[in-house]
Amino acid sequence: MRRRVLITGASAGIGVALARVYAEKGWDLILTARREAAMQALAAEIRAAHGVDAAVIAADLSEEDAPERLIEEIAARGLTVDGLINNAGFSRTTGFLATEPQAHAAMIRVMLSAPVALSRLVLPGMVERGFGRVINVASLAGQMPATGGDTLYGPIKSFLIKASQGLWLETRGTGVHVTALCPGYTLTEFHDVNGSREQVSSAYPAWMWQTADHVARVAHDSCEADRPRVTPGLANNVLAALGKLLPDDVALRIVAGHARRLGRI
């Protein structure tokens, strides 16, 4: 029996790379995001390349009851969720006070509330069946001091890391694996969407960037190995370690300089 994984934010970036990797590994897919046309094209590509099933469900996780409606639709189609990848996300780099409250609320619903709700909805079935995989796509930013400009992004990602670690502890011995994926700078359209492509491209050398395919393969392998957290790339692990070791005042001065270079504060 083939397993099936639900991937949110599956229309671009790391979500697309994860879909391709899991299809390559023989998983059937449920792709969800707002952009249905992009997902339908991806689903067709995956079916042709790997012979797996790829269901597409358009959904906007910024809507309050979207997780419940998504799971209801999956059940109505007679599908079972054996794996969950909470990947959907975005950032606002214009500053806390310059960002509309509605945008803040959408960020919190998409990247914090939806992963919690979806996990709560699918984990009981995974535990009952004795098999499950959950990947929460956090970020290197969740392991570093928060920065100005994209004020809520780092704290939300830090929450995802801690929540993943707690779920990893709770599900040990059940056949369910939970992993927090903490990528650093990754070559996707993420920075085009938030308008920071030019700034980040000029601020960081090429060796600091990773491909979405590499990040997706690290995520898959780490979840299969039942690692509670993984940060792809040596440089990113060094930065994460420094974020823990440096005194707060020193670390905050460093990230403030980073934010100024990117024009965020």
Provide CB contacts within 8 A for 148, sequence distance 6+: 95, 96, 256, 259, 264, 265
Structure tokens given for 247:
């005194």
What phi and psi, each to the nearest 5 degrees, are found at residue 24? -60, -35
For residue 180, give the amino acid letter: A
Instruction: Tell me which residue of 166, 61, 178 sits closest to 111, measured CA to CA.
Output: 61
DSSP 3-state of 48: helix
Three-class DSSP category at 2: coil
Catalytic residue among 22, 153, 185, 204: 153
Q: Which two tokens stand for residue 98?
A: 């310059």
- For the chain, how many helices (H) and strands (E)? 11, 9
> Which residues have C-beta within 8 Å of that of residue 101, sequence separation ≥ 6?
none
The partner residues of 187 in beta bridges, in order of sequence, read 211
Q: Which has the closest alpha carbon to 264: 161, 102, 140, 153?
A: 153
Q: Does the annotation count 185 as an active-site position? A: no
Q: Please identify every residue annotated as catalytic.
A: 153
